[in-house]
Structure 1
Amino acid sequence: MSSADGTYDVVVLGAGSTGENVADTVVRGGLSAVLVEEHLVGGECSYYACMPSKALIRGTEALDEVRAVSGAAAAVTGELDVTATLERRDTFAHHWDDSDQVAWVEGAGIDLLRGTARLDGERSVVVTGPDGGGTRLTARHAVAVCTGSEAMVPPVAGLADVRPWTPREATGAKTPPRSLVVLGGGYVGCELSFAWHALGSRVTLVQRMPRLLPEAEPQASDAVLASLRDRGVDVRLDVDVTAARRDGDEVVLTAADQEVRGEEVLLATGRRARTTGIGVETVGLEPGEYLDVDDTLQVRGVPWLYGVGDVNGRQLLTHMGKYQARQAGAAIVARARGEEVRAGDWSPHTATADHAATPSVVFTDPQVASVGLTSAQARDAGLPHRVVEYPIGSVAGAELFADGYEGTAVAVVDPEREVLLGVTFVGPAVAELLHAATVAVVGEVPIGRLWHAVPAYPTVSEVWLRLLETWRG
């Protein structure tokens, strides 16, 4: 499928998981594709985000699970091995070597070009290689921008000058810092606070807003806050940092009435689109902005250009980027064949789950697993809804899983159509409950039919039955 003259059906900027999936989907559909990547093939998730961060967390999570079971707890006689944990993290990041990913790309029939890509007018991309040489690529059908997002430095005086960590540095650190200040209480800030505290750092989490995980159900925010504080993390809410400076080997952050110090400071305050320096201005778009796309991920006003994954700002999650990639790839193939691209809910060509059925997991202890709308989102959208809540620890399977299991299940139900709008689980190991909820939300399975989805006894999934009983009253 390679092209001697630099012409391909599809040119993909960025060989992270999103770009890989766009290219794979169009190649499977009979088109030719080339990936352009200046760094590591596999992208952020493989080397700096999902995989290495969860590897940092998993050992502590496993120990907590064993210590919560009488009898098994007696077998735990030592503490977490920090060196072994970091070594295991390195294996999941493939020691920052992308040769396995490159082999997969080649085996899938996708070409790979190393270098920095810039759009240069309609369906044209110029790539500057590592040696400084240039290559022009032309797309017959589509250019897909899959350049992702990057950590944002908030406008705090002096902050950029203190050499703060981004999540890249935080997941790849070779040793735990003596002390770490985490700015931001979203899922990245909470997860990495949990991880580095368990690995021996003294952690202070500073959140500008009045609660952690502000997009989650309040029950989730409260549970994660309580757990972090119980473990010894210093969590400070409603604190607006106004200045930063270096004082010897420490970073000093200043707020109106307090000062926070740490050997390192981690920015977990949000992300921005990687659209600067890639030539979007040559096709009439604004550098630095998220790409405005329709549900087929086609950039509005530029029909041959697609913005897929984090770069469009719809859902900044790896699995949603891969989902968008499959949908966009299918739409590109259909258009290339002259076939109808179907719009509307749950079409093979549209990413409608972005709006109504996005699943996510916060890998703290307790975990927070959610899909669809929260009660606040349903209220803000003006949707009829009723909230149903049940303590997961009252289910027999949870009692077996851990002594004193604490957790909560929250369902947001449309009482008129009697379907689920959203579900949130809070508790140990609840991530594995999430896909059933996702299927129920995506399928708009009627409550009356869910009664016939019988959970096995004794499993934690029996919480589904208890939610339905609570709904019925």
Structure 2
Amino acid sequence: MTTHTPALSADTYDVIVLGGGAVGENAADRTAQGGLRTVIVESALVGGECSYWACMPSKALLRSGAALAAARRVPGSAEAVTGSLGVLATLRSRDAVTSHYSDSGQEKWLESAGIALVRGHGRLTGTREVTVTGSDGSTRILTATHAVVLSTGSAALLPDVPGLVDVQPWTSREATSVQTVPASLAIIGGGVVAAEMATAYTSLGAQVTLIARSGLLGGSEPFAGELVATALREGGATLLLGDSPTAARRTDTGDVELTLASGGTVTASEVLVATGRVPQTQDLGLAVVGLADGDWLTVDDTLRVVGESPASVAALGTATDGSGWLYAVGDVNHRALLTHQGKYQARAVGDVIVARAAGTPVDDSPWGAHVATADHSAVPQVTFTDPEVASIGLTAAGAVKAGYQVKILDYDLSNLGGASVLADGYVGRARAIVDLDREVLIGVTFVGQDVAELLHSATIAVVAEVPINRLWHAVPSYPTLSEVWLRLLEQYGRPGHVG
């Protein structure tokens, strides 16, 4: 028997995705591949924050300095390096990586993938209904037969420091898209963005002062922040840890002057604020589902938005009876503010929507394996400083706090044959956390040159819960940094006979 799907009107789709960044694109691609007519609503550049103002341009700015530093650590190539970093060439490379801030290539990809694009600001105006306001003020109403996916990301948080807004501080957007490197840069914050931009701008020749009330890379193992701080200081940066600004103003010369809690002042050409993120949920019409604009969105493991009051529960429907229709992926749900985790969520939500549209219970379907769980405790992350910091899972302190019985394995990477080949005087460290009850890894951290490429092996070991007795049979090649796995296992001892 042949069935026919009713034709859809021009403004009716199976799935509407609000936000055309990397996460929204992945969600739309997954639903389109599943046979659902899908549209993306985007008010800025398709490709979003990661493509133009975050992941990609920041790594382009960092790469030149990292490559130069690596060359200077190797006898022979060190003698060949006689010049300084080419700042203009680095900026041109950044521009090429961002496609010169044009999304025409992304538009072509959407067309080839069968995904429609509507330009403008979208907001919820009813159940499965989105009203899009164009740049010219025109409006268009879109309706979805199955789902609306919110993928609007996050924005920089500006701390409440008197005068800070008035000096027009940089956020990560300005820092990664700059066309002229300032003579000096003050950075407020000690997290990933602050550490990476301190590394990048130091290599680009700016005099960098980093001000971090809670220290550097506080969410990582303590040695990570210590090694990165040492490298930044050796590169010429000034680090004011345990301090914070209390006021900001522009001087008569146009510089920014920050008054510090310690009583001192810092003066710089520009100031970058990197103190956290806020959700891009303002003016999304969340009142339609009983939620408040400006809040992070709570989701279940199928990425469906969860109601927090009787009114919102009624408006959102439920997954069990098929009435649930609103989903949120990426930064906006606050589970893991990382592009790769957001794209993981996007793949999961796409498969879930396709399954539910087909009337297939998610837990009983082939799509069940894609329900999002990896962002609970096994989140991989790389901080592209020099040295790099790569980690997955829990820190030692986090594991103990969570109640695990653990053994902590530490190793100095400079003792590896592979490290001695990479650099004269290699500096780095590794730590693995073993859950003694199950004899599996629950956390791994690497710090050092080129350790980012070690991370996926650790991610597989942690996520797959590979038993220690099987890891012994994963033989690392010599001489590579991967030999660290053998050294960590030797520290642990034979499974069941912990030394």
Which residue is equivalent to 2:221?
Answer: 217
2-side partners of 1:3 and 1:254: how far apart? 60
Equivalent residue for 1:414, pick from 435, 447, 462:
435
Partners of 1:342 and 1:349 within 8 A in 2: no
TM superposition shift of 1:392: 0.9
Of the three residues 391, 403, 406, the one matched with 2:412 is 391
Q: How many angstroms does 1:130 deviate by?
A: 2.2
Number of aligned pairs?
471
1:156-183 C-alpha deviation (Å, 9 max, x unpaired): 1111111000100000000111110000
**How far apart are 1:349 and its partner, in Å?**
3.3
AA partner of residue 463 (structure 1): V
Alignment partner, residue 251 of structure 2: 247
Stretches of structure 2 lacking an aligned partner (at least 5 in a row): 308-315, 317-323, 494-498
CA distance in 2, matches of 1:239, 1:347: 48
SS at match of 1:296: coil
Q: Give the whole-Å Cα distance in 2 for the aligned partners of 1:179 and 1:138.
A: 50
Aligned counterparts, 1:47-126, within 5 A = 47-126=52-131
One-letter code aligned to 1:464: W
Percent of pairs with identical residues: 56
Q: Name the structure 2 match of 1:336.
A: 357
Task: Could you tell me which runs of 5 or more consecutive residues in structure 1 were left unpaired when the two chains were aligned.
Answer: none
Superposed CA deviations along residues 180-215 of structure 1, whole A, max 9, x for unmatched, are: 000001010000011011111111000011x20000
Structure 1 position 69, deviation (Å): 0.8
Cα RMSD after superposing both structures: 1.5
**1:298 CA displacement:** 0.5
Aligned equivalents of 2:398 and 2:292: distance in 1?
A: 30
Whole-Å Cα distance in 1 between the matches of residues 426 and 65 of structure 2? 17
Partner of 2:288: 282
- Give the deviation of 1:347 after TM superposition: 4.6
Native 8 Å contact 1:298 1:307 kept in 2: yes
What secondary structure does 2:224 align onto? helix
The equivalent position to 2:298 in structure 1, one of 282, 292, 298, is 292
User: Matches of 1:13 and 1:69 in 2, distance apart?
Assistant: 48
Secondary structure of 1:354's counterpart equals coil
SS across alignment from 1:369: strand
1:427 correspondence with 2:448:
yes
Aligned partners of 1:415, 1:364: CA distance in 2, in Å? 32
User: Residue deviations 1:305-328, cap 9 Å, x none?
Assistant: 111000011111110110000011
Whole-angstrom distance in 1 between the partners of 2:294 and 2:247: 25
User: Which amino acid is 1:239 matched to?
Assistant: D
- Does 2:160 match 1:141? no
1:171 maps onto 2:176 in alignment:
yes
Q: Which amino acid aligns with 1:236?
A: L
- Determine the C-alpha separation between the residues in 1 that align with 2:402 and 2:37: 42
2:49 alignment partner in structure 1? 44
CA contact (8 A) 1:149 1:310 kept: yes
1:23 counterpart residue number? 28
Residue 446 of structure 2: SS of its match in structure 1?
A: strand
Please give the TM-score of this superposition, normalised by the length of structure 1: 0.98
- Give 1:401 shift: 1.1
Distance 2:407 2:383 in 1: 24
Contact 1:330 1:348 (C-alpha < 8 Å) held by counterparts: no
Structure 1 pair 3/81, CA: closer, same or farther in 2 (3 Å)?
Answer: farther
Q: What CA deviation, in whole Å up to 9, does each residue of 1:400-426 have, x standing for no partner? A: 111111110100110110000010000
Match of 1:155 in 2: 160
**Which whole-Å deviations, capped at 9, do the CAs of 1:62-86 have from their partners, x for residues lacking one?**
1111111111211111111001000
Deviation at 1:359, TM superposition (A): 0.6
Separation of aligned partners in 2, 1:322 and 1:138: 24
How many Å separate the matches in 1 of 2:198 and 2:453? Answer: 23
Partner of 2:378: 357
Offset at residue 52 of structure 1 (A): 0.5
Aligned partners of 2:197 and 2:8: how far apart in 1? 44
C-alpha distance in 1, partners of 2:66/2:80? 16
Q: Distance in 2 between matches of 1:63 and 1:180?
A: 22
Counterpart-to-counterpart distance in 2, 1:182 and 1:52: 18
